[in-house]
Amino acid sequence: MRLVLVGPPGAGKGTQAQFIAEHVGVPKISTGDIFRANVSQGTPLGLEAKEYMDRGDLVPDGVTIEMVRNRLAEPDAITGFLLDGFPRTVPQAEVLDDILRETADTKLDVVLELVVDDDEVIRRLSGRRTCRTCNHIWHVDFDPPKVPDVCDIDGGELFQRDDDKAETIANRLQVYAEQTAPLVAYYAGRGMLVGIDATGPVDDVTVRAIDALRPFPAGEA
Ligand code: ADP
Ligand code: AMP
């Protein structure tokens, strides 16, 4: 299955991506995770992306699209994938369609929208913590680890993302409204969008997501 998750920052895309990808049996590809890995390794891509990420702006399409094109060409992504955080602009969505057509003569099966209001998103982003080693996502109140700042899964150190500061969150929500929300209409117009209520416990949202995906069988490889 070729699947895209959309929704505002903090909607729970990363949290759900892990469970959904495992359920569907495809790799999870998160552009935010790839950028953050490049930033922490100090690669040229990371150095270029960092200034945009720190402001809460989108990394330019040219840079982002090449990164995704390379990732989708890796063997594990040939027969299916779950994209978390890409596409985030209509031009990115158009190029994704082109990449799939040119490289595999295929297309996306479905785009799943996680619907959450701004107040909930702000509560989620302000308390988000991420494991430095396994990238698992926690929340200080809604999904706390047993020991504060230590990942239950691998004992890794938890950190707060630089772009989860209040002023950056405000810009990210504005960027989402201006540049990413139009994607919802883009995919709805193509009959590819299914939206779910992404509020309530994480497990409930996962069940809703898997139910919503049931009518969308995977396309041909
Ligand atoms: P996104 O990838 O869309 O930016 P995340 O998956 O990183 O969002 O989730 C943002 C924060 O909200 C994290 O701290 C996560 O633990 C928390 N979270 C995710 N889903 C829920 C939920 N259903 N209820 C409460 N908090 C949640
Ligand atoms: P995320 O982890 O999805 O919240 O992404 C963190 C940051 O990485 C974003 O605020 C952007 O700066 C950058 N980023 C991630 N995905 C994209 C994308 N598809 N296009 C442009 N920038 C992106």
Residue 205's CATH number: 3.40.50.300
Position 103 in a domain = yes
Position 206 in a domain = yes
Low pLDDT (below 50) residues in the chain: 220-221
Position 190 in a domain = yes
Q: How far apart are CA 190 and CA 55, in angstroms?
A: 32
Q: How far apart are CA 86 and CA 72, in angstroms?
A: 12
> Per-residue pLDDT tens for 47-91?
999 999 999 999 999 999 999 999 999 999 998 999 999 999 999
Measuring from atom 13 of ligand 1, which residue has the nearest CA? Answer: 128
Q: Which ligand is nearest to the CA of 163?
A: 2
Position 54 in a domain = no
Say what the pLDDT of residue 221 is: 45
Position 57 in a domain = no
Sheet holding 137-139, edge to edge: 137-139, 128-131, 158-159
Long-range pairs for 65-72: beta carbons < 8 A, 24 or more residues apart: 65/92, 65/95, 67/31, 67/34, 67/35, 68/29, 68/31, 68/92, 68/96, 68/99, 69/99, 71/29, 71/34, 72/29, 72/99, 72/100, 72/103
Instruction: Report the domain count for the chain.
Output: 1
Position 108 in a domain = yes
- Domain holding 20, by residue range, is 2-26+79-117+174-213
> Per-residue pLDDT tens for 93-112?
999 999 999 988 899 999 99
Q: Which ligand is nearest to the CA of 9?
A: 1
Question: Mutation test of ligand 1: which of 113, 142, 159 has the most ligand atoms closer than 8 Å to its C-beta?
Answer: 142
Say what the pLDDT of residue 218 is: 65
